[in-house]
Structure 1
Amino acid sequence: MNAITEAAEHAGRWKAERGQAPHYATGHVQWWTCLACPLDGCDWHHDDRHDAPAAPAVLEALVREHVARHDLADVLASLATARDATAAVNASNDRAWDVVRLRRQQAAERGEHAYSDEVAQQLSSALVGSEEHQAVRDQLGDVPNS
């Protein structure tokens, strides 16, 4: 998955987690990125098509015009919350990579190839979103719910 697609899907998930319809979309012919208002209860968004993107100045004007309708304190609080959430996700990601590095180091210390550890392989494939992670999801689908 490329960075543009990930950003679009992230915007959609962010809105969906707040009970609002996700506005990112995929298609065989086109993709677009959704600029969505981060404030709860606000449905404003702008879909920017990748095959005909708006100029950065146009996007900035759209966002500024919308944000001006909100109380500045609410916007700043929302941005601070987003910053804190991003920092928490980054810290979690770093901790997971620490586990991968440790498992690889332990494999090397056992005289094995550093990339032979199955747990490290599964975790790193999950962290980078590789196709190999689908095998884990497939196995989870076979496990009955407890």
Structure 2
Amino acid sequence: MTDTRTAAEHAGRWKADRGRPPHYAVSYREWWTCLACPLDGCDWHHDDRHDSPSAPAVLEALVREHVAGHDLVDVLAAITAARDATAAVDASNDRAWDVVKLRRLQAAERGEDPYGDPVSRILSAALVGSEEHQAVRDLLGSDVHRRPAGP
């Protein structure tokens, strides 16, 4: 896979995760890969079905043809911004895992089950997106935990 195609796939997933076109990239793991323009104002995308994938050279040509219509500086700025945002999220994720590891280590040092600490369990569930975290979201969304409106 080429760097251009990889960047287009990343842009498709990134846009879809933020509720922007392309609309179908949310299902890229199951049904298709979505190639998208990295520019926020551009909705161009191409869905490539997994059950009948296009040749890599064809996909590369599609992406290159589209990107050629944009100013190179704008494309590079968009890719750089996406890379920086991804790096910031990765760093934040690493810091959260450090907290989980610390809580587990502290529990083990106290002779307790390192996976029994409720804080590390909840944070770990949030980081991996498990069903246990959905229970936290459901609880936070329930009327029981809503604060009354102002004084």
1:100 to 2:100 alignment = yes
Aligned-residue offset at 1:24: 2.2
TM-score by length of 2: 0.79
> Which of 1 and 2 has greater Rg?
2
Structure 1: distance between partners of 2:42 and 2:80: 17
User: Which amino acid in structure 1 is aligned with residue 44 of structure 2?
Assistant: W
Q: 1:73–1:58: structure 2 CA closer, same or farther, 3 Å change rule? A: same
- The 8 Å contact of residues 33 and 50 in structure 1, kept in 2 or not, is answered as yes
Unmatched 5+ residue regions in structure 1?
Answer: 1-6
Match of 2:46 in 1: 46
- State whether residues 13 and 22 of structure 1, in contact with CA within 8 Å, keep that contact through their aligned partners in structure 2: no
User: Structure 1 residue runs of 4+, over 4 Å off?
Assistant: none
- Secondary structure of 1:47's match? strand
Residue 25 of structure 2 aligns with which residue? 24
Query: Could you tell me the percent identity over the aligned residues?
Result: 68
Q: Per chain length, whose mean CA-contact separation is higher, i.e. which structure has more relative contact order (CA < 8 Å, sep 6+)?
A: 2
The runs of 5 or more residues in structure 2 that have no matched partner are: 1-9
> What is the alpha-carbon distance in structure 2 between the residues aligned to residue 66 and residue 94 of structure 1?
35
Q: Does 1:59 align with 2:52?
A: no
Supply the RMSD in Å over aligned alpha carbons: 2.2
Q: Counterpart of 2:146?
A: 144
In structure 1, C-alpha distance between the alignment counterparts of 2:112 and 2:65, rounded to whole Å: 59
Deviation at 1:79, TM superposition (A): 0.8
TM-score between the two structures when normalised by the length of structure 1: 0.81
SS at match of 2:23: coil
CA–CA distance in structure 2, aligned partners of residues 69 and 102 of structure 1: 50
